[in-house]
């Protein structure tokens, strides 16, 4: 299972409790890209939907999803279904370098 400890430090996430509690007031259909807990939950929904085994390739794919959301996904897309669809449709287009110790053979 993908966890917040795997998130890239180059993105600024708000780990404050106030933001975490506020997510309950926001629509469940929207994703706050700065909320690490919402992002991890969204990424785990990908893992579960595709029945990915928990291994190095899945960790790579989870980090790739994070990268796509933070750097490639248009900012006007905030609905989770639209985000999922956009990521699925643009999966091959987003260049994400392989990380060390992860072999994709």
Please list the residues that pair with 30 across neighbouring strands.
Answer: 79
At 26 the three-state DSSP class reads coil
CA atoms within 13 A on the CB side of 73: 26
**pLDDT higher at 27 or 84:** 84
Q: Which two tokens stand for residue 1?
A: 């299972």
Q: Is 23's pLDDT higher than 60?
A: no
- pLDDT tens string 42-56: 999 989 998 999 998
Higher pLDDT, 12 or 101: 12
Quote the pTM value.
0.81
Q: What pLDDT digit, counting tens, does each position of 74-91 carry?
A: 999 999 999 999 999 998
Residues sharing a CB contact under 8 Å with residue 37, sequence separation 6 or more, in sequence order: 4, 20, 23
Q: At 79, list the tokens.
A: 């609905």
């Amino acid at each position: 299972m993908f966890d917040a400890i795997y998130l890239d430090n180059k993105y600024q996430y708000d780990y404050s409790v106030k933001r975490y509690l506020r997510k309950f007031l926001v629509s469940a259909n929207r994703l706050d890209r700065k909320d690490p807990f919402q992002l991890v939950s969204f990424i785990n929904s990908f893992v579960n939907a595709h029945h990915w085994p928990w291994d190095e390739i899945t960790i790579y794919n989870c980090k790739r999803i994070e990268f796509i959301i933070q750097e490639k996904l248009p900012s006007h897309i905030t609905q989770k279904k639209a985000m999922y669809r956009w990521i699925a449709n643009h999966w091959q287009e987003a260049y994400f370098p392989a990380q060390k110790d992860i072999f994709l053979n």
